[in-house]
């Protein structure tokens, strides 16, 4: 893969990304952090995989009493290096893996739960299906952004940092995601939403593997 085809996420600095996400007019970093606490606490799992972990937002809610393994997956090696530095106290619990999910999904380890926040927008439902099939989690918890006004990147001084994402971005639709998950035998379990500034909202959708649901496990 030549440089011209690099994943655009590899070109965005963590500083620019996080400064944009935490602006008062955006407030997605803060909202995600709060919502991730709920994701980590909702299900009886000891191994979780966070897709698109970026700088580790939300990892402060990882309890060493509950989890024995946390995988952090991201395409940007610099993001992962900073995550490892920030959360050094998680030690051997946290394992970061640099990977482009659109090309290397089959290299992922298995995990009991996948957390995918603002991630499916950039790989598409078909690629996400492939990832879930390979990892075989009991539970999948996703947060997607729904735009109720024009534009999927909130206006900010950092707006043009994200220009390169246009070529990999997919507009998200709840029904399409639910259908994609149903096709690989995951049923929707929970739904909640968080209203953001600028006419956007974050929607959390949780899914459970049908074989788990049918046996009554983890309810």
Instruction: Give tens-digit pLDDT for 53-73.
Output: 999 999 999 999 999 999 999
- What is the spatial distance between Cα 120 and Cα 183, in angstroms, rounded to a whole number? 16
- What is the spatial distance between Cα 63 and Cα 40, in angstroms, rounded to a whole number? 9
Residues 6+ apart with CB under 8 A from 144: 118, 120, 121, 172, 174, 177, 202, 203, 205
Where are the strands (E) in 40-110, listed by range?
Answer: 47-51, 69-74, 94-98
- Residue 200 contacts residue 148 (beta carbons within 8 Å): yes
What pLDDT was estimated at residue 31?
A: 87
Residues 6+ apart with CB under 8 A from 157: 20
The pTM score is 0.87
pLDDT tens sequence across 102-156: 999 999 999 999 999 999 998 999 999 999 999 999 999 999 988 766 554 555 5
């Amino acid at each position: 893969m030549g440089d011209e085809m690099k994943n655009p996420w590899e070109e965005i600095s963590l500083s620019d990304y996080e400064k944009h996400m935490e602006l008062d007019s955006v407030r997605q970093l803060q909202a995600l952090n709060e919502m991730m606490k709920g994701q980590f606490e909702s299900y009886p799992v000891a191994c979780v995989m966070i897709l698109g972990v970026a700088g580790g937002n939300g990892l402060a809610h990882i309890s060493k009493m509950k989890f024995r393994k946390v995988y952090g997956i991201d395409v940007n090696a610099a993001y992962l290096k900073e995550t490892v530095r920030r959360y050094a106290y998680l030690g051997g619990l946290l394992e970061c893996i640099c990977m482009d999910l659109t090309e290397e999904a089959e290299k992922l380890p298995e995990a009991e739960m996948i957390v995918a926040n603002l991630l499916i927008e950039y790989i598409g439902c078909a690629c996400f299906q492939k990832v879930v099939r390979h990892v075989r989690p009991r539970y999948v918890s996703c947060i997607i952004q729904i735009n109720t006004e024009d534009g999927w990147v909130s206006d900010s001084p950092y707006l043009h940092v994200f220009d390169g994402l246009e070529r990999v971005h997919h507009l998200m639709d709840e029904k399409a995601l639910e259908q994609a998950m149903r096709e690989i035998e995951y049923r929707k379990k929970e739904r909640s939403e968080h209203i953001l500034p600028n006419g956007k909202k974050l929607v959390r959708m949780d899914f459970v593997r049908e074989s788990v649901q049918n046996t009554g496990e983890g309810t």
